[in-house]
Structure 1
Amino acid sequence: MRMGILFLKLAALYFLVGVGMGIAMEIMQDHRLAGAHAHINLIGWASMALFGVIYVLFPNAGDTVLAKLHFWLYNISLPFFMLGLCFLLVGNTSFMFLLTIFPNILVLSVVFFVINVFRNVKLGNINSFIQKGD
């Protein structure tokens, strides 16, 4: 369950960053970073919150090496990916290496998540979770 809680907490931080970016872009009337804003809200907030919920509901999946690899690779790659995207969106191509390395690491972490889900998310796991809540 620990991985699930960590994903949920970081998702909340990305939600704050995404909302803050949206408000800042609107105040400045400069929407060049809209793509990064959308990515932060989708792969930072929404996706990470869903990962967290899945790992909380299916603690067997959250307690695996795959979950730990997923967590660390995702959370190391996402900020660098977004930084590279922000530079690109404002016209600075000096940091393109960030966009050649870190999105690929993020995708690898998602592959680990998918493998983990197929291996460890089972109906019996959710039923035992629900019964514990009674």
Structure 2
Amino acid sequence: MARKMIVGSTFYFVIGVIMGMAMSMTENYTLSPVHAHVNLLGWVSLALGGLLYQLYPAAANSRLGKWHFWLHMLGIPLMMAGLACMLLTGSAAFVAAVSVGGVFVVVGTILFSANAVRHML
């Protein structure tokens, strides 16, 4: 699980850096919220989770660890795609994608916290 999270985080790091460069080059910062969320939820949160799972293998091998990983990995792209579409089109039609993706990430984060209390203390 640790390796999956760290490798997954590098994917989001690349996306975040490319988004930042593209926004700077075009001087269009419409997608700044997406850029920030990709970097913080994708790169930083997954990388830190992966490092903690490396230090605490019992947490990584638990059901909570697996659920945390999958909810995070499914929630981030869903939430970010919905948010990007909302920002680019101005349409509230994408609220459902943002909401469902956001709930996945929040539930995954709560499971991570419960996992930390259970296996990392």
Q: TM-score, normalised by structure 2?
A: 0.95
Where does 1:53-132 land on structure 2 (aligned, <5 Å)? 53-90=51-88, 91-122=90-121
Give structure 2 stretches of 5+ with no counterpart.
none
CA drift at 1:5: 0.6
Unaligned 5+ segments in structure 1 are 123-134
8 Å Cα contact 1:87-1:93 kept in structure 2:
no
Residue identity (%): 35
Query: Aligned AA for 2:11?
Result: L
Task: Give the match's secondary structure for 1:52.
Answer: helix
For residues 4 and 100 of structure 1, the distance between their equivalents in structure 2, rounded to whole angstroms, comes to: 27
Query: Alignment partner of 1:95: what SS?
Result: helix
Residue 11 of structure 1, CA deviation: 0.4
Conservation of the 8 A alpha-carbon contact between 1:84 and 1:96: yes
Distance 2:52 2:113 in 1: 11
Where does structure 1 differ by over 2 angstroms across 4 or more consecutive aligned residues? none
1:18 aligns with 2:13: no
Q: Which has the larger radius of gyration?
A: 1
| C-alpha distance in structure 2 between counterparts of 1:59 and 1:87, whole Å | 38
Q: Cα offset for 1:92?
A: 2.9
**Aligned residues: CA RMSD:** 0.9
Distance apart, 1:99 and its partner CA: 1.6
Are positions 1:28 and 2:26 aligned together? yes
1:98, 1:107 → 2: CA distance? 14
In the alignment, the residues of structure 2 paired with residue 80 and residue 72 of structure 1 have an alpha-carbon distance, to the nearest angstrom, of 12
Partner secondary structure for residue 71 of structure 2? helix
